[in-house]
Amino acid sequence: MTASAKVAAGARSLGGTLAHGIVAMAHNSLALVGLLVAFCALTLFSRADLRNAGEDYLRTWLQARQESAIDAGDAAADSTGGTDTNIIAAVDRATATNPQQLPKNQAAVAYWLAKKYRVAPEPLAVLVSEAFQVGKETKLDPTLILAIMAVESSFNPFAQSSVGAQGLMQVMTKIHTDKYEHFGGHFAAFDPVTNLRVGVKVLQECIQRAGSLEGGLKYYVGAANLPDDGGYAAKVLAEHFRIKQVANGRSNPAEPPAKPSLSAKASVPATTMPAVQNKASEPAAPADGATATVALVDKSGAAVAQPAKTESTTVSMGS
């Protein structure tokens, strides 16, 4: 055998020996690891205190990693102006939708109201959709609900009157606080959809109490025990007439037919009629020194009469 052949044979023998040793070491290492895992498992199973300590350590470590990730996200938000999560939350909070996604008649109403009252059509689309849904639930014409919002607040969800009527439907929040409890409290009065639903509930109660729609509107505006409502019901019904035409497909609604005022007295000249302010809720002042009976009325229809001196009486009723 030549020298080169002997070297090759020795190298192969050495290689085989090393490989065999590595395999043996690997088998022994795996066996050792297995024995170690089994031992740890048996120890933890038998020692509840060690097991609990290990769980606490692992939980603390995971929480620390999570907090680090949140801090890193906040730092990125500060540098970029916000995170995707914040953006999604803001969109979810917005009371707006695409009017083109509504049924054709509702979309027409949304666009018409948006143009007339100079309000964006996207939030109006939500209100129109909600009015139709609530109207279906309560058996009220949705265009009537929209007409009341138009007359009361011109679709300003943050409107407030001098006597505390708030929101789209100008609900007396302090009087109807109980109706907002289901929605999380009285601050929900400034949520457009919540105010709409509470306002409709108040309107239902007013109509039921009065026995008619026009009478219910008189209760709603706070003129239940006044001679007339200053034209409030007529104004609401006129806007209802227009919106209903738009919902029925007419882009340029006609004006409603004029109706003579039932409260007007032909024998009394127009110049002598009492001035009506704040939607007929504030009675005219009598002559100096005279005593007036001032009607205290809220939108729930409750009314109390009390005598008051003209010079010390300043009463403004609900809307």
Supply the CATH number for residue 112's domain: 1.10.530.10
Check residue 205 and give its pLDDT: 95
In a domain, 121, yes or no: yes
* 114 and 240 assigned to the same domain: yes
In a domain, 193, yes or no: yes
* 64 and 184 assigned to the same domain: no
In a domain, 204, yes or no: yes
Strand partners, 221: none
In a domain, 5, yes or no: no
Check residue 286 and give its pLDDT: 38
* 167 and 77 assigned to the same domain: no
* 119 and 207 assigned to the same domain: yes
Q: How far apart are CA 294 and CA 234, in angstroms?
A: 24
Mean pLDDT of 97-102: 95
Residue with tokens 């109201």: 113
Beta carbons of 190 and 173 less than 8 angstroms apart: no
Mean pLDDT of 271-290: 37
pLDDT-derived band at 109, boundaries 50, 70, 90? very high
In a domain, 313, yes or no: no
* 38 and 108 assigned to the same domain: no
* 22 and 65 assigned to the same domain: yes
* 108 and 142 assigned to the same domain: yes
- Work out the angle between the directed axes of helices 142-153 and 104-117 (0-180°, nearest 10): 10
Amino acid present at 13: S
In a domain, 25, yes or no: yes
Task: Enter the tokens of residue 52.
Answer: 């609990």
Whether residue 154 has pLDDT greater than 80: yes
Residue with tokens 């302090």: 174
Instruction: Count Cβ atoms below 10 Å from residue 206 Cβ, excluding itself.
Output: 22
* 37 and 73 assigned to the same domain: yes
pLDDT-derived band at 191, boundaries 50, 70, 90? very high
* 120 and 73 assigned to the same domain: no
* 55 and 117 assigned to the same domain: no
Question: Quick one: which of 187, 211, 209, 169 has its CA closest to 300?
Answer: 209
Number of structural domains in the chain:
2
In a domain, 243, yes or no: yes
* 71 and 122 assigned to the same domain: no
* SS3 assignment, position 8: helix
Average pLDDT in the chain? 76
* 200 and 108 assigned to the same domain: yes
Among 187, 212, 247, the domain-final residue is 247
Domain that holds residue 225: 99-247
Check residue 9 and give its pLDDT: 66
Cβ burial, residue 183 (10 Å; 0-12/13-18/19+): middle
Beta carbons of 300 and 318 less than 8 angstroms apart: no
Mean pLDDT of 31-52: 72
Residue with tokens 């020692």: 47
